[in-house]
Amino acid sequence: MEFPEPIKLEAKRRANFCCVCCQQVVFVEVHHIIPPGEGGSCELENAAPLCPSHHTLYGDNPRMRKFIREARDFWWDYCAKQAASPATIALREGFDRIQTQVSEGHREMLAEVKAVIAEQLRGVADAVSSARSVQEVVEATSSGVTIYGSGSIIVPSPVIRGTGWVGPPPSSPDTTKQ
């Protein structure tokens, strides 16, 4: 469960849009100190703005909850006492708004990619289900989804299994032989 947008914004404003651990400004995320699955609320008292590194480093570690809360309280108190330049805060808030829009755009793009891949996989599943021979099963599974590298790039494309060849099926029917 995510924090409501007004809670995220208030937590970031109190921290001058910085990570409460390292004061980094880029891609600050609002972290649940106590996860909702363990009874944590989505209220400001349970929110801590963290950079992605500290979110990864401390986020899932129950032993770090006290540290995160103390770091947050210290930084919020410091920011309240040290008047930051209104221009700096406006710039950071604008930057945060852009980062949020980019993140939302990535979610929309991811949803579109998932839909395309799911549709392609449904087509492969249908072709396998209706196959009447081993050759038809092989042909049905020869076109699908290719995952490059560590899985960060997923591209629907025909693949000739076992050859490492990626691209449109070649005209020669014996390309599946090694």
Give the global pTM.
0.59
- Helices 5-14 and 86-129: crossing angle, nearest 10°? 140
Domain locations in the chain as residue ranges: 5-84, 105-166
The pLDDT tens digits along the chain (178 residues) read 889 999 999 999 999 999 999 998 878 999 999 999 999 999 999 999 999 899 988 888 999 999 999 999 999 999 999 877 888 888 888 888 888 787 777 777 767 777 777 777 788 888 888 989 988 888 877 654 444 444 444 444 444 344 444 444 444 444 444 4
Check if the beta carbon of residue 68 is closer than 8 Å to that of residue 45: no
Residue 136 has a CB neighbour count (10 Å cut-off) of 13
Whose tokens are 């395309």? That residue is: 116
**Strand 29-32, strand 47-50: pairing:** antiparallel
Helices (H), the chain: 5-14, 52-58, 65-81, 86-129, 134-141
Using a 10 angstrom Cβ sphere, with 0-12 exposed, 13-18 middle and 19 or more buried, the burial of residue 30 is buried
